[in-house]
């Protein structure tokens, strides 16, 4: 499909989600045009704006995108297995959304700062976060797992949509820092050495109904903040379908705030990369925020505590499996002679090594001393916390050397019914 330069207005043809297109027709709105470069058949199309961005992707980069998607899917499978085996308290699968995450993550630059929700494992991979560190939080041994300052990838946010507010605030801070740097450089006659930066805020279609998202977009638009809102529309907010969340494509909401909104095929890693690169350039250049709606699908459960068979049909899942992002890129790489059997074999082997590393590391994670929770409450020592810690230690000492009450009761009952020695 082709498209015009992204703006706050749309015209074009209907997208493949007919329910949303029909809803727009009822409201008198033209359906939002979806950017797609690589179709489910593995054939590359043309777009007047984004083909130029896609053309910059070398064969090596394209192979890297495939390897990343395959690695994060293998990681997802392993993490799900670890949860089922009792090694993790919970897991949040991403299968089906690999292209949306890898494509957007690889389009970012090191100076950009990313605010994820709790499902952006693929984005974490692109930001060089140790994937084993992701599992600390899901195992319950850490409140985070990694230092965001090392990768410009923020800690996961479990409170729905809260990270969008944080992202806009951070973007406004970047904006002011860059203006100050420019002013100082002009006064001193020296060039600015630091590259301009932007922020990406990830959230889902369910989170788009939260007030925090609305407030974030109001602030971002009002202050022209350098932030890209990246909505992964995976069609299900747990058991609530997108059709209930919105009457129009989510990308159209950007018009109400006065900045560009783009709907992209979220299973097309090439298109996602191109659109995100464009949006980040737009933000870094001081042109303000952009909303990207990655039209994709959550193939698995919302979390390992969820059963999607209770609220959606298998036929729907099968239809989306036919749009698999990995299979799509693999078809293209093979058809164009950009990857051979040795490459795909190595990708599989690398994935197995990653899974083994993650499993081994997870088993080796130690439960931290609970006293660290007291130590990390304030930056400096606090008398009230010290008093609470003293109470806790005294309370814990009361159990030293004692057997659990249930064990004591069992032993007492055994003594009453057991025959005495010599009788």
How would you write the pLDDT of the chain (423 residues) with one tens digit per residue? Answer: 445 444 433 333 344 455 555 554 544 444 568 999 999 999 999 999 999 999 999 999 999 999 999 999 999 999 999 999 999 999 999 999 999 999 999 999 999 999 999 999 999 999 999 999 999 999 999 888 899 999 999 999 999 999 999 999 999 999 999 999 999 999 999 998 899 999 999 999 999 999 999 999 999 999 999 999 999 999 999 999 999 999 889 999 999 999 999 999 999 999 999 999 999 999 999 999 999 999 999 999 999 999 999 999 999 999 999 999 999 999 999 999 999 999 999 999 999 999 999 999 999 998 888 888 888 889 899 999 999 999 999 998 888 765 555 555 555 554 444 444 443
Residue 199: which of 234, 236, 235, 224 has the closest Cα? 224
In this predicted structure, what is the pLDDT of residue 328? 98
Compute CA distances 354 → 10, 58, 132, 423, whole Å. 43, 25, 9, 63
In this predicted structure, what is the pLDDT of residue 1? 42
The dihedral formed by the CA atoms of 200, 203, 207 and 213, expressed in degrees to the nearest 10: 0
């082997």: which residue's tokens?
349
In this predicted structure, what is the pLDDT of residue 25? 53
Cα 72 from Cα 57, distance rounded (Å): 20
| 172 Cβ contact list (under 8 Å, min separation 6) | 219, 223, 225
pTM of the model: 0.86
For residues 258-270, one letter each, b for 16 or more C-beta atoms within 10 angstroms of the residue's C-beta and e for the rest, the string is: ebbbbbbbbbbbb
Q: Are strands 34-35 and 261-265 parallel, antiparallel or unpaired?
A: parallel
Cα 76 from Cα 326, distance rounded (Å): 14
What's the CATH class of domain 18-364? alpha beta
Q: Exposure of 81 by Cβ count < 10 A (0-12 exposed, 13-18 middle, 19+ buried)?
A: middle
Cα 313 from Cα 298, distance rounded (Å): 13
Compute CA distances 61 → 160, 273, 339, 360, whole Å. 33, 11, 12, 30
In this predicted structure, what is the pLDDT of residue 367? 85
| 22 Cβ contact list (under 8 Å, min separation 6) | none
160: which 2 tokens? 């729905």
Domain residue limits, the chain: 18-364, 373-417
In this predicted structure, what is the pLDDT of residue 399? 86
Positions annotated as catalytic residues are 298, 302, 311
In this predicted structure, what is the pLDDT of residue 114? 98
Contact between 321 and 299 (Cβ < 8 Å): yes
């909104």: which residue's tokens?
261
């058809």: which residue's tokens?
335
């Amino acid at each position: 499909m082709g498209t015009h330069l992204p703006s706050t207005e749309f015209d074009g043809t209907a997208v493949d989600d007919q329910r949303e297109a029909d809803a727009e027709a009822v409201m008198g709105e033209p359906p939002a045009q979806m950017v797609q470069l690589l179709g489910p058949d593995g054939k590359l199309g043309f777009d007047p704006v984004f083909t130029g961005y896609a053309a910059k992707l070398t064969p090596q980069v394209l192979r890297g995108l495939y390897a990343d998607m395959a690695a994060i899917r293998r990681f997802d499978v392993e993490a799900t297995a670890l949860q089922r085996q009792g090694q993790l308290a919970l897991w949040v699968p991403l299968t089906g959304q690999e292209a949306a995450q890898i494509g957007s993550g690889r389009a970012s630059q090191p100076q950009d700062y990313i605010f994820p929700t709790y499902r952006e494992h693929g984005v974490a991979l692109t930001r060089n976060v140790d994937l084993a560190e992701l599992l600390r939080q899901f195992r319950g041994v850490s409140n985070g797992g990694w230092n965001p300052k090392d990768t410009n990838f923020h800690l996961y946010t479990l409170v729905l949509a809260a990270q969008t507010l944080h992202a806009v605030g951070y973007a406004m801070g970047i904006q002011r820092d860059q203006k100050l740097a420019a002013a100082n450089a002009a006064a001193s006659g020296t060039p600015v050495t630091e590259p301009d930066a932007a922020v990406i805020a990830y959230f889902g279609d369910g989170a788009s109904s939260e007030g925090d998202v609305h407030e974030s977009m109001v602030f971002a638009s009002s202050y022209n903040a350098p932030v890209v809102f990246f909505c992964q529309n995976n069609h299900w907010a747990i058991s609530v379908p997108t059709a209930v969340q919105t009457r129009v494509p989510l990308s159209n909401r950007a018009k109400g705030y006065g900045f560009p909104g783009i709907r992209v095929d979220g299973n097309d890693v090439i298109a996602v990369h191109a659109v995100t690169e464009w949006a980040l350039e737009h933000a870094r250049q001081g042109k303000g925020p952009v909303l990207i709606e990655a039209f994709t699908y959550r193939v698995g459960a919302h979390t390992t505590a969820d059963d999607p068979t209770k609220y959606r049909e298998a036929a729907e899942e099968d239809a989306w499996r036919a749009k698999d992002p990995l299979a799509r890129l693999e078809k293209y790489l093979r058809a164009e002679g950009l990857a051979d059997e040795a490459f795909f074999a190595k990708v599989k082997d690398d994935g197995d090594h990653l899974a083994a590393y993650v499993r081994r590391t997870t088993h080796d994670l130690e439960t931290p001393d609970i006293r660290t929770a007291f130590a990390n409450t304030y930056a400096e020592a606090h008398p009230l916390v010290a008093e609470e810690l003293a109470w806790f230690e005294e309370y814990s000492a009361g159990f030293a050397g004692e057997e659990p009450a249930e064990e004591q009761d069992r032993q007492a009952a055994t003594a009453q019914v057991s025959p005495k020695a010599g009788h």
